[in-house]
Chain A
Amino acid sequence: MSTEGTAGTLLDVRDIEVRFGGVIALDGLSFTVARGEICSLIGPNGAGKTTLFNCVSRLYEPSSGSISFDGHDLLRMAPHKIARVGVARTFQNLALFPALTVLENVMVGAHTNGSVGFARAMLRIGVGAEERRLRTKCREILDRLSLGHLADRPAIGLPFGTLKRLEFARALASTPKLLLLDEPANGLTHGEVDELGETIREIRDQFDLTVLLVEHHMAMVMAISDDIVVMEFGRKIAEGPPSQIRNDPKVIEAYLGAPA
């Protein structure tokens, strides 16, 4: 893209193609996310939204294209290095650590904020201070997301909506620059969805984040997004601010159907 775009661009996805056997999940997808914005990725089931997330977290290998993030070529990095440059995510169908408590799950999320390795851990060198620091930080995040009272409960057995929020907390714990949220409102009631939308905006401001959001709740997407990318069959069919997307005939035909 032009020079004008790069200074403000945090994530730059270009011509990404992913195939699963005969299925083309992403078909030359390109878009950019500007620093500090909330960008939503919408589209019907199977459009390829989660597949894109999996490319950014290096779980899927695109057959072509490039993804650059904050000056890093993500497709040349190992999956575990992605968190260290500042990308965190949640999973559509949850991927928590069931044996650990709620607090411990978030502390694992803060993995990149710690430095104790095997030798130091076994000899307890610097462990106490690090544990206190991580625990304080993660408790604050839990409190911020109203999960504080569950801190010492095992993650297994909590309701789906609570666990989605826990995934959110775990992702925040790494102090990311970019947060990928895959259907965070799934499993929430209407009131909770509105509240979540507000929380996402507040947290974006408070933590200086950029958010890439996948969500089917149109009201929430329209309310909080700065920019929306609409996908269908692995391709981008429209991009723009909510006011424009709402009235785009292609979008209405392909996806929205009913007015948003």
Chain B
Amino acid sequence: MSNQVTPDDVSGAAANEPLPGSTMGRAPFPWLRAVAAVVLLVVAIALPYSINDEPLNVVCQVLYLAIAAMGLNLLTGFNGQVSIGHGAFFGVGAFASAILVVDHGWTFEMTIPVAAVVAGLVGAVMAIPALRVKGLYLALITLGLAVLFPVVTTKYVKGSGGIALLKPTRSQVSSMFPDIWSDDQYRYFVCLGLVVLLFLLAYNLMQSRVGRSIIAVRDQEVAASTVGIDVARVKVLTFAVSAAYAGVAGSLSVFVLRIADATNPLVYFQLSIEFLIAMVIGGSATISGPVVGAIFLILIRRQTDEGTDFLPRLLGVEDRTEQLAPALLGGILIVLTYVLPEGLVGGFRKLKAKALQGRTPRPVANATTDPTPN
């Protein structure tokens, strides 16, 4: 009886609009990419020697936001499972690290893999109810997770003062190589290293048999299962990997901001939305999209936040007096998604394809998108 596709299930699949996203092959100018990568790397390495303190902190926030958005993109962009609950996995990672460091005296760096594993496990458990639902229902379930997380955390985690707020000391997040790098330079390089590592892991994943099956499950679940793909397994493992990315991001947020805070019930929900926004702005179902999206999100937010205190707002620990900023952000997002529905990276790809050879436009989509095979 397991996995039986009743006629109802089949028609339910219609809610799953196919997304763009073959990631394999097709690089017209490999050397151009290589040059771009080298330039990026040089800039990234030089950056902490030209800026420091607050601006560098903001760059670190871009980096861990990019990690969370990359993880969400694996799940939502490539696998078609919508999650508004990734803020919760971020929170799990943040608190896993904070508890180990503050209460158990761990070295911070050691807690990052633990945060990944714990968030990944929570993700795998969450994926099981997710197997039964799709689209909007899945979004609702994961939304519930993001809302529940601070409630549960407040109940079981008591920092000093009896509230769910943990603050590692300055020395607990200090540089391991004080002779070479100052504390904020060191934190920046840890974040950068992890972005690069996790980017490569995600890229590798999508360039393999597994990557194809992740997309196949999104595009045509029934056909995926008839070619031998264990759909449930792919969904659960993608969920786990995706949640682990968010967990690493959460862990890094504690490293950078020195705070894990679940006292505001809405913070993790807001974070979930930000991950989605970063993913969509950059271009879902592209590997580099979420990174670009994270940069833009922080840039836009900085602009719209002009004159207000930036860090407290990110944490949501302070009431906003300026009501205009979110509206402005929302407006910019609407315009962006309208002008570039496939995100910045998707838009850039289109432009490049046009510039390259004015390739014949794709004919109109036809029956391939029919979600009810028989």
A160 close to B22 (CB less than 8 A): no
Q: For B215, B222, B226, B228, which residue has the most chain A Cβ atoms within 10 angstroms?
A: B226
B209 close to A155 (CB less than 8 A): no
B353 CB to closest chain A CB (Å) equals 12
Stretch at the interface among A5-13, A57-65, A139-147: A57-65
A156 close to B25 (CB less than 8 A): no
A157 close to B363 (CB less than 8 A): yes
Q: Which residues of B contact A20 (CB under 8 A)?
A: 7
Given A79-B3, A157-B362, A157-B365: A134 and B223 interface contact (C-beta under 8 Å) = no
- Is there a chain A Cβ closer than 8 Å to B258's Cβ? no
- Is there a chain A Cβ closer than 8 Å to B374's Cβ? yes
- Is there a chain A Cβ closer than 8 Å to B56's Cβ? no
Given A57-B226, A104-B24: A96 and B205 interface contact (C-beta under 8 Å) = no
Q: For B210, B219, B223, B228, which residue has the most chain A Cβ atoms within 10 angstroms?
A: B228
A173 CB to closest chain B CB (Å) equals 8
B226 close to A89 (CB less than 8 A): yes
A253 CB to closest chain B CB (Å) equals 27
- Is there a chain B Cβ closer than 8 Å to A132's Cβ? no
A80 close to B225 (CB less than 8 A): yes
Contact code string A61-104 (vs B, CB < 8 Å = 1, else 0) = 10000000000000000111111100011011111111111001
Interface residues of B in 165-217 (CB under 8 A from A): 201-202, 204-205, 207-213, 215-216
Q: Which residues of B contact A155 (CB under 8 A)?
A: 368
Interface residues of B in 2-21 (CB under 8 A from A): 2-5, 7, 10, 18-21
- Is there a chain B Cβ closer than 8 Å to A117's Cβ? yes
Contact code string B132-160 (vs A, CB < 8 Å = 1, else 0) = 00000000000000000000000000000
Contact partner of A127 among B20, B208, B370, CB < 8 A? B208
**In this complex, what residue of B is CB-closest to A21?**
B7
Given A99-B22, A163-B367, A174-B227: A94 and B373 interface contact (C-beta under 8 Å) = yes
A134 close to B209 (CB less than 8 A): yes
Contact partner of B372 among A93, A131, A157, CB < 8 A? A93
Q: Which residues of B contact A112 (CB under 8 A)?
A: 227-228
Q: Which B residues form the contact surface with A (CB < 8 A)?
A: 1-5, 7, 10, 18-22, 24-26, 201-202, 204-205, 207-213, 215-216, 218-220, 222-231, 237, 241, 285, 362-370, 372-374
Given A78-B3, A97-B223, A157-B362: A121 and B204 interface contact (C-beta under 8 Å) = yes
A-B contact count (CB 8 A): 176
Q: Which residues of A contact B373 (CB under 8 A)?
A: 91-95
Q: Which A residues form the contact surface with B (CB < 8 A)?
A: 20, 50, 54, 57-61, 78-84, 88-89, 91-101, 104, 107-109, 111-112, 114, 116-118, 121-124, 127, 130-131, 134, 152, 154-160, 163, 170, 174, 182
Given A91-B223, A156-B368, A163-B367: A104 and B212 interface contact (C-beta under 8 Å) = yes
B227 close to A94 (CB less than 8 A): no
Assembly CA distance A91 to B367 (angstroms): 12
Contact partner of A116 among B26, B209, B222, B366, CB < 8 A? B209
Given A84-B228, A124-B204: A98 and B372 interface contact (C-beta under 8 Å) = no
B113 CB to closest chain A CB (Å) equals 14
B209 close to A121 (CB less than 8 A): yes
Q: Which residues of A contact B2 (CB under 8 A)?
A: 78
Q: Which residues of A contact B224 (CB under 8 A)?
A: 97, 108
B222 close to A59 (CB less than 8 A): yes
Q: For B209, B225, B370, which residue has the most chain A Cβ atoms within 10 angstroms?
A: B209
Q: Which residues of B contact A93 (CB under 8 A)?
A: 367, 370, 372-374
Given A60-B5, A95-B370, A99-B22: A80 and B229 interface contact (C-beta under 8 Å) = yes
A160 close to B366 (CB less than 8 A): yes
Q: Which residues of B contact A122 (CB under 8 A)?
A: 201-202, 204-205, 241
Q: Which residues of A contact B210 (CB under 8 A)?
A: 116-118, 121
Q: Which residues of A contact B26 (CB under 8 A)?
A: 152
Q: Which residues of B contact A163 (CB under 8 A)?
A: 366-368
A83 close to B228 (CB less than 8 A): yes
Assembly CA distance A163 to B26 (angstroms): 22
- Pick the 9 closest A-B CB pairs, nearest first: A83-B228, A95-B373, A95-B223, A121-B208, A91-B373, A112-B228, A157-B363, A97-B219, A121-B210
Contact partner of B227 among A58, A88, A117, A134, CB < 8 A? A88
Given A94-B368, A94-B370, A156-B369: A121 and B211 interface contact (C-beta under 8 Å) = yes
**In this complex, what residue of B is CB-closest to A115?**
B209
23 sampled A-B residue pairs with Cβ under 8 A: A20-B7, A50-B374, A54-B374, A59-B4, A59-B222, A61-B4, A79-B5, A80-B226, A80-B229, A91-B373, A92-B374, A94-B370, A95-B373, A96-B220, A98-B219, A98-B368, A107-B212, A111-B228, A121-B207, A127-B207, A156-B366, A163-B366, A163-B368
A130 close to B209 (CB less than 8 A): yes
Beyond contacts A80-B225, A95-B223, A182-B374: 4 other A-B pairs, Cβ-Cβ < 8 A, are A61-B1, A79-B5, A121-B211, A131-B207
Assembly CA distance A58 to B372 (angstroms): 15
Q: Which residues of B contact A114 (CB under 8 A)?
A: 209
Assembly CA distance A78 to B219 (angstroms): 20
Given A99-B22, A99-B215, A122-B201: A108 and B226 interface contact (C-beta under 8 Å) = no
